[in-house]
Copies of this chain bind each other. A is one copy, B any other.
Amino acid sequence: MGAGSGPAATIPDRPTLPNVGIIIMFSPNGPDDMQRKTFRNMQCPIARSLERVGEWWSILILRDAFYGTKRFDEFQRNLDIAPNMLTRRLNGLVEEGLLEKRQYSERPPRYEYVLTDCGRDFRPVLLALLAWGNRNFAPEGPSVQIVDRETGKVVEPMLVDTENGEPLQMGRRHVLRAGPAADESTRARLSSATSHMTTAAPAAPAAPLAREAGKVA
């Protein structure tokens, strides 16, 4: 993705379209797209993940790839995204190893984009976003749901410990700790963190616990 690629990356590859506009910005660091520093060298696995998918469009492109979308014009139609932007985002996802670009026709040469193992492995993040969106931003009721095909029931996902199936209770039973590759600053950061993730919360009243039952994590 465009991280660290500097101003040149933000100049679209079709500057002569009829609706060209000229935008002049006064900025200490340029607009967001240039101002962004890379998260790649941060040790935090969340930051490293965002380095791969933190662009506005990338997560929706991955979502559509999970829906079975493969071809440029299909992505463009589904997402209503500018072609130069789609090209950049697809190339970025290919560079990061989340999509593979495959030729499916020789004459004319045509390509499709399919999820790699690493891309497919992003699915839990999408499902967690879906569940969070349904719980918080669907006042009219859910439009997309996870359903158990066998029972027909709507499924509310929850994060558990793979080994024993017990729900994650961050800040109570489960905490974040520095791993074997953590450097000093990561260790310091984790040991000074005080809440929600890393240390046992003060004895929680019954209501919040009940509120969290039936929720992911």
Contacts and interface: CB of A to CB of B under 8 A. Distances in A.
A149 B128 contact: no
Interface of A: 7, 10-12, 14-15, 17, 19-37, 39, 43-52, 54-56, 59-60, 63, 65-68, 78, 80, 82, 84-85, 97, 115, 117-118, 120-138, 140-150, 153-163, 165, 168, 170, 173-183, 186, 189-190, 193-198, 200, 211, 214-217
Contact of A128 (B11, B25, B159): B159
A145 to B, nearest CB: 4
A135 B45 CA distance: 9
B159 A197 contact: no
B145 A177 contact: yes
A103 B16 CA distance: 50
Contacts of A200: 149
Given A128-B125, A132-B124, A179-B142, A31 B31 contact: yes
B148 A155 contact: no
B211 A137 contact: no
A72 to B, nearest CB: 17
B142 A49 contact: no
Contacts of A19: 28-29
